[in-house]
Amino acid sequence: MTELLTDPPRRLAMAHVQALAQALTEFGPAAEIAADWGARLAGALSSGARLLVAGNGGSAAQAQHLSAEIVGRYAADRAPFSAVALHSEPSALTAIMNDYGIEEVFARQVQAHGRPGDVCVLMSTSGRSPNVVAAAVRARDCGLRTWAMTGPVPNPLAEVAEETLPICCPRTSTVQELHLVALHLLCEAMDAELARAEAALARWQPAR
């Protein structure tokens, strides 16, 4: 670690890029999961389901990025869909933390907002954040589809989620960077599935 800290910035930058490039060579399975999730999320949201997302720190930013893409748009214009980032309401967050403890900050919101058939995407680079793991357990108990994005497996979040998209890299920064790639792939696949479904419906519409 000391050697890395005394390296010139250029060498540090190249080491970071090389770690990311190496992780990308092993990203294929995660990319397939992201694309599958996107296609299935299109069907769920089109049927009236809601997306709930949460994470801590950098993962909170990633989760909120995803909710923004769903409510707004990823690329082409389309109808908005319901997506809630559970860490983005500070009054509820701090009230729950104060009254019930930090482990309940997401779980209680999942119980309040989630309905059977909704999708809950939970993000943790370590997969060990107690409040995220508790949210996954609550989501599963409430009948939500529970998907986890984590770093290396096994980890507690992956054990309780129904499905997991793992990034098997020891560097937290690389895991976060590839989670962002996975989020974009998910959104791309979702939009493609929505467009495919719309085109199929148009073909079956009777001529006027």
Question: Which residues of the chain, if any, have pLDDT below 50?
Answer: 1, 4
* Cα gap 151→163, rounded to integer Å: 14
pTM above the 0.75 mark?
yes
pLDDT, one tens digit per residue, over 174-204 is 999 999 999 999 999 999 999 998 888 777 7
Q: Given this model, what pLDDT does residue 194 score? A: 96
Domain ranges of the chain: 48-191
Contact 23, 174 (CB under 8 A): yes
Residue recorded with tokens 């709930």: 52
Fold held by 48-191: Rossmann fold (3.40.50)
| Residue-by-residue DSSP string for the chain | -HHHHHS-HHHHHHHHHHHHHHHHHT-HHHHHHHHHHHHHHHHHHHTT--EEEEESTHHHHHHHHHHHHHHS-SSS------EEETTS-HHHHHHHHHHH-GGGTTHHHHHHH--TT-EEEEEESSS--HHHHHHHHHHHHTT-EEEEEESSSS-HHHHHSSEEEE---S-HHHHHHHHHHHHHHHHHHHHHHHHHHHHHHHHHSPP-
pLDDT, one tens digit per residue, over 37-60 is 999 999 999 999 999 999 999 999
* Cα gap 191→30, rounded to integer Å: 18
